[in-house]
Amino acid sequence: MKKSENTYQNGRISITLLFALFLSFSAISKPQYSFNVIKKGQGAPLIFIPGLITSGEVWHETMEHFSKTNECHVLTLAGYAGQPPLADAPYLESFKKEIIQYIDEQKLNNVVLVGHSIGGYISLMIGLENHPSIRKLVILDAMPHFAAEINPNAKEGFDEASAKQYMASFEAFDQEQIKNYRLTMAKSMTKNQEKWNDLVEWSMSSDLKTEAYSSHEMLATDLRKDIAKIEAPILVLAAFDYNEMYPQYTLEAATATYKSQYQHANMLQLEIAEGSKHFIMWDKPEWIFEKIAQFIQ
């Protein structure tokens, strides 16, 4: 074989190897899960699950605090805050299964799930599996059947027509009007003005179908009696802030509501964050740090 032919063949082999390596690297680097994960710290693992159409960035300050003593895994769920959505519903069941898969594949033990809002509901769903690696649950401002607080006669079952109606309600508005609506909602959910724009941006970059369907899936299923099966201890951190529009909703009323919702839990610790709106991690960060630290230790 001539020298030029050797050069050609060697070059061809090199290109083939590079292509094979590229395919191998692509397979390794391809995301394994529909959710995004940020990991920081060492120690017993904490898995942080955000609420509806919220980025894992909502846990930033909490992660910075606990990563000094724990291995923190902060998730952003599929379809929320710019994360690509799942192909189709059901969403919450898929989230649950995939988080359990993540725990298994990462070989995590003595896990504490920390979930906010719909993330807290997902944590209860996972807790019902009594997975041997789940040690404790921390639930921030979430209930096993929120629909009952909206309508005491709420029926179980996914209401797809209502979910689609929610999606259709946005079609009558332009982007600026939707942004203003999202800002109004943000102001009602946290006192921390610096975070309002974050909530607006996350909501604007979320998948509307995922938002509508996952929220209606939560409303569709009553876990109040089922949570009696959860073997892991549960810490519920509930928000309460006086609202002059609802003077009947006092601290005592809020406490009674949460006690009623969680009355069937076997090992429950309930704490009320007075003077906090829905995003307790922003409105009462030091309080959150203290309560979670005491519970997980």
CA–CA distance, 274 with 271 (Å, rounded to integer): 9
Work out the pLDDT band at 214, boundaries 50, 70, 90.
very high
Query: Could you read off the pLDDT of 236-295 as tens digits, one per residue?
Result: 999 999 988 889 999 999 999 999 999 999 999 999 999 999 999 999 999 999 999 999
CA–CA distance, 61 with 160 (Å, rounded to integer): 36
Token output for 35? 């959710």
**Nearest C-alpha neighbor of 209 from the set 174, 176, 160, 172:** 160
Q: Which CATH superfamily is domain 36-296 in?
A: Alpha/Beta hydrolase fold, catalytic domain (3.40.50.1820)
Token output for 138? 């921390």
CA–CA distance, 71 with 193 (Å, rounded to integer): 29
pLDDT at 220: 96
Q: Backbone phi, then psi, for 136, in 5-degree steps?
A: -150, 160
**Nearest C-alpha neighbor of 137 from the set 165, 116, 158, 162:** 116
| 89 DSSP assignment | S
Query: Could you read off the pLDDT of 97-133 as tens digits, one per residue?
Result: 999 999 999 999 999 999 999 999 999 999 999 999 9
CA–CA distance, 254 with 238 (Å, rounded to integer): 8
CA–CA distance, 80 with 211 (Å, rounded to integer): 8
Query: Could you read off the pLDDT of 138-176 as tens digits, one per residue?
Result: 999 999 999 999 888 888 999 999 999 999 999 989 999
Token output for 41? 């710290």
Helix (H) or strand (E) holding 71: strand 71-76
